[in-house]
């Protein structure tokens, strides 16, 4: 007999079926044994009347939570009084006729039989594969998947194509430190992991694709601050020949349609999203991430807002120099170009952030497509001619071969799903996140590597300074 899923049993009343999955809970009432069986589709109640078969009774007696079992039995409708409205399969139960244990299980370090997760987060991370058995975690990852699927479909319908860009690459500045990968074949040389696919997506525009997107993994080696992850996912996209407002319209439509496709009418989204100037927002709300919800206790209210017209540069007190507010590729306002030499901190940029409920969920910009202007911006950022050449020379070369006007955005997928699922942090919506201090407690990373590998990578470990 072919195994079916718990959910499919709803439509098989009166039939013999085969089910397999994990023992969620087991309880005895008088002589009757009840087991809640869990599989990828949900939970279903199994019942066993001990008198019916001694052999099966002893198997069921030995079964414990998280054992994997396979059962055959008959699907019965439950009497009205016993219907469980909290369970999708609550109208039926399966009367067990045969049962075998497929895998036994140690007692898990925390309970899995309900949605509440009382365990310490470090323990949950160490046993993430058990933590992911919780319904809440499964629901989070399913919602994430559904959102990505709908974003993909939307972008496909608008003639975008998804293109993968490399992870072993050269640095691209997005304001964080880079992860470095020593090259074995080229001693003393390094790849870096991308902070974002920024230069690649711009080069794809120069290549003439006009509409690119990618569900992109990005890597940033930041000191552990706030709710961040060393690797995270962006919905990264870039378009050619669109004005700033046209890009914002497109993203807005994508967000509203995708959320509606996943959550139906449950989520309340006010449209159109307001488009506010960064300077006004700062003055009014004292932050550039204002929370514009009417009712902050309503878990379904989503108040998106565009913040635009950021200054192109800002003065960094820590670095004691002018830095790019977004990244150095952002297009200044045409009418502010004369200020580049006179008063660069006054130059406004075609940069926009998307904020939702007080969280930044995306940021993007129109880009510079004139190589001379790009060089000028690098110079204002304090880069010497040789530095521009070694860091960006090859990128800039492409702009001499016909660059279209272009711009784009990257949405922080983890943060967006966190807000949609009403979770307190992004670790709850990532299958295998790092801890807040950057460790993988399940597989144990970062870790030492054998001396032979260190030698092959042509590096020396010097722990004196740390
Ligand atoms: N690359 C930018 C970032 O990661 C996003 C963009 O400008 O499209 O923030």
What lines the ligand 1 site, CB under 6 Å? 174, 196, 198, 327, 363-365, 408-410
Residue 33, pLDDT score: 95
- Which pLDDT belongs to residue 147? 98
Task: Supply the pLDDT for residue 119.
Answer: 79
Instruction: Give the C-alpha separation, 25 to 113, whole Å.
Output: 6
Exposure pattern of 300-338 as b/e (b: 16+ CB <10 Å)? ebbbbbbbbbbbbbeeeeeeeebebbbbbbbbbeeebee
Which atom of ligand 1 sits closest to the CA of residue 330? 7
- Token duo for residue 176: 């964080």
pLDDT at site 21: 98
Smallest CA separation from ligand 1 atom 1, residue: 198
Distance, CA 215 to ligand 1 centroid (Å)?
13
**Which helix (H) or strand (E) element contains residue 419?**
helix 413-420
Query: Chain centroid to CA 388: how far?
Result: 33
Residues 146-192: pLDDT tens digits? 999 999 999 999 999 999 999 999 988 888 899 999 999 999 999 99
User: Taking a C-beta distance cutoff of 8 angstroms, is the pair 16, 73 a contact?
Assistant: yes
Burial class (CB in 10 A: 0-12, 13-18, 19+), 30: exposed
SS (H, E, C) 320-335: CEEEECCCCCECECHH
How far CA 142 is from CA of 90, 150, 305, in Å, comes to: 21, 12, 26
User: For the chain, which ranges sit under pLDDT 50?
Assistant: none
Residues 6+ positions from 276 with CB-CB distance below 8 Å: 305, 306, 307, 308
Residues belonging to the chain: 466
pTM attached to this predicted model: 0.95
Nearest to 113 by CA among 133, 128, 83: 133
Which of 326, 331, 355 has the most ligand 1 atoms within 8 A of CB, as the residue to mutate?
Answer: 326
- DSSP state string for 261-282: HHHTTSSEE-SSPPEEEHHHHH
Q: What are phi and psi of 95, to 5 degrees?
A: -85, 115
Q: What's residue 226's pLDDT?
A: 75
Whole-number pLDDT of residue 465: 63
pLDDT (tens digit per residue) in 23-67: 999 999 998 999 999 999 999 999 998 877 889 999 999 999 999
CA atoms of 63 and 61, how far apart (whole Å): 6
How does pLDDT run across 230-254, given as a tens digit for each residue? 999 999 999 999 999 999 999 999 9
Q: Are 128 and 137 in contact (CB under 8 A)?
A: no
Cα 234 to averaged position of ligand 1 atoms, centre (Å): 9
Ligand 1: which atom is nearest the Cα of residue 236?
8
Give me the pLDDT at residue 114, please.
65
Q: Which helix (H) or strand (E) holds 364?
A: strand 359-366
The atom number, within ligand 1, closest to the CA of 198 reads 1
Asked if residue 288 lies in contact with residue 282, where contact means CB atoms within 8 angstroms, the answer is yes
């Amino acid at each position: 007999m072919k195994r079916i899923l718990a959910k499919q049993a709803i439509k098989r009343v009166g039939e013999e079926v085969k089910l397999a999955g994990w023992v969620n809970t087991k309880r005895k009432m008088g002589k009757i044994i009840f087991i809640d069986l869990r599989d990828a589709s949900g939970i279903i109640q199994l019942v066993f009347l001990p008198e019916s078969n001694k052999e099966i009774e002893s198997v069921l007696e030995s079964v414990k939570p998280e054992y994997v079992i396979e059962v055959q039995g008959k699907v019965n409708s439950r009497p009205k009084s016993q219907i469980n409205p909290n369970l999708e399969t609550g109208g039926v139960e399966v009367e067990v006729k045969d049962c075998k244990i497929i895998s036994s299980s140690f007692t898990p370090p925390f309970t899995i039989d309900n949605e509440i997760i009382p365990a310490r987060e470090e323990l949950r991370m160490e046993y993430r594969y058990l933590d992911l058995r919780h319904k809440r975690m499964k629901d989070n990852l399913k919602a994430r998947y559904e959102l990505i699927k709908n974003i993909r479909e939307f972008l496909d319908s608008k003639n975008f194509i998804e293109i993968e860009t490399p992870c072993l690459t050269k640095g691209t500045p997005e304001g964080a430190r880079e992860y470095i990968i020593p090259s074995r074949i080229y001693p003393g040389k390094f790849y870096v992991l991308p902070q974002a696919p920024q230069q690649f997506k711009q080069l794809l525009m120069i290549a003439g694709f006009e509409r690119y997107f990618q569900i992109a993994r990005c890597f940033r080696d930041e000191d552990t601050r706030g709710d961040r992850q060393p690797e995270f996912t962006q919905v990264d996209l870039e378009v050619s020949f669109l004005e700033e407002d046209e890009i914002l319209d497109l993203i807005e439509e994508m967000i509203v349609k995708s959320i509606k496709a996943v959550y139906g009418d449950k989520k309340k989204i006010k449209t159109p999203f307001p488009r506010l100037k960064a300077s006004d927002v700062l003055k009014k709300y004292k932050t550039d991430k204002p929370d514009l919800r009417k009712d902050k206790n309503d878990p379904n209210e989503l108040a998106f807002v565009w913040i635009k017209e950021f200054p192109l540069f800002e003065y960094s007190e820590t670095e004691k120099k002018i830095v790019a507010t977004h990244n150095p590729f952002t297009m200044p306002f045409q009418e502010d170009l004369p200020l580049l030499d006179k008063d660069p901190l006054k130059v406004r940029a075609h940069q926009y952030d998307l904020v939702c409920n007080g969280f930044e969920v995306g940021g993007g910009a129109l880009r510079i497509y004139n190589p001379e202007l790009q060089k000028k911006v690098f110079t204002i950022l304090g880069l010497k001619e040789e530095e521009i050449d070694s860091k960006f020379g090859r990128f800039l070369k492409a702009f001499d071969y016909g660059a279209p006007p272009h711009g784009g955005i990257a949405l922080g997928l983890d943060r967006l799903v966190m807000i949609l699922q009403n979770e307190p942090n992004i670790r709850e919506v990532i299958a295998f996140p790092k801890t807040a201090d950057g460790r993988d407690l399940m597989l144990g990373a970062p870790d030492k590597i054998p001396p032979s590998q260190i030698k092959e990578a042509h590096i020396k470990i010097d722990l004196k300074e740390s």
